[in-house]
Amino acid sequence: MDAEQYLVLFDVDGTLVDSQLQIMDAMKDAFMAIDHPVPTLQDILSIVGLSLPDAFSRLLTNKPQHIQERCAETYKLAFAEARAKGAKPQFYPGVYEVLDELYRHPNYILGIATGKSRRGLNALLDSYEIAPWFVTAQVADDHPSKPNTSMIKTAMREANVDRNCTVMIGDTSFDIDMAKSAGVFAIGVGWGYHPHTKLAAADMLVHQATDLLGAIENLLRE
């Protein structure tokens, strides 16, 4: 077995955990606060992965910025309130086991690149007691929205790994576009929020978590 170190970056919502219920509930509160019809499920899922300012600018293209900002703030408060009441997104089948195996593997370094806030990500990782598994965790607080490459470049620098030894795993076109622009490998997952056609630029597309380890190995250690 080689001693090379490989960085495996994960998106969170739609990739590691299914937070669709929490997202929809918070969206309803956010749009009710500005007396605006709630977008369709398809429209809402299409912006998951973007930072909140970018997401609401897309959902409220005809509204002024201060309305978009108010909506985003209400969304954050609603999401945080639900979390405080015990709402907890669940891992997709098999994903926790994949993370556990990667964490225990001597050649892999785990990282996160997510549109979530630092507070939201920390709460999720702490609830599953897996925060120590991740060497680097990039969040919306500190970076431009995906698909800007800032998250991946910072993660590689923190992990001291170059782009040829890095893979980004995500469920949206924003994840895949970010990875390809950064010059790293991209794996799309078929259980998340964007249709498979939006993930066509990925190096590989997997449809169940049990296929992730093989896909990672094929790309990084071929």
Q: What is the pLDDT of residues 160-180, one digit of tens each?
A: 999 999 999 999 999 999 999
Q: How does the average pLDDT of the chain come out, rounded?
A: 95
Rounded distance between C-alpha atoms, residue 69 and residue 73, angstroms: 6
Question: Do the beta carbons of residue 118 and residue 141 sit within 8 Å?
Answer: yes
Predicted pLDDT at 2: 54
| Active-site position among 2, 13, 54, 142 | 13
In terms of pTM, does the model score above 0.85?
Answer: yes
The CATH number of domain 6-18+89-220 is 3.30.450.20: no
Terminal C-alpha separation, the chain = 13
Mean pLDDT over 57-72 rounds to 95
What does the block give as tokens for 74? 């209400």
Active site residue 54: no
Active site residue 11: yes
pLDDT at residue 1 greater than cutoff 90: no
Nearest to 7 by CA among 192, 138, 202: 138
Name the more confident of 167 and 49.
Answer: 167
| Active-site position among 11, 54, 171, 175 | 11
| CA-based R_g, the chain, Å | 17
Mean pLDDT over 87-104 rounds to 96
Nearest to 111 by CA among 188, 5, 33: 5
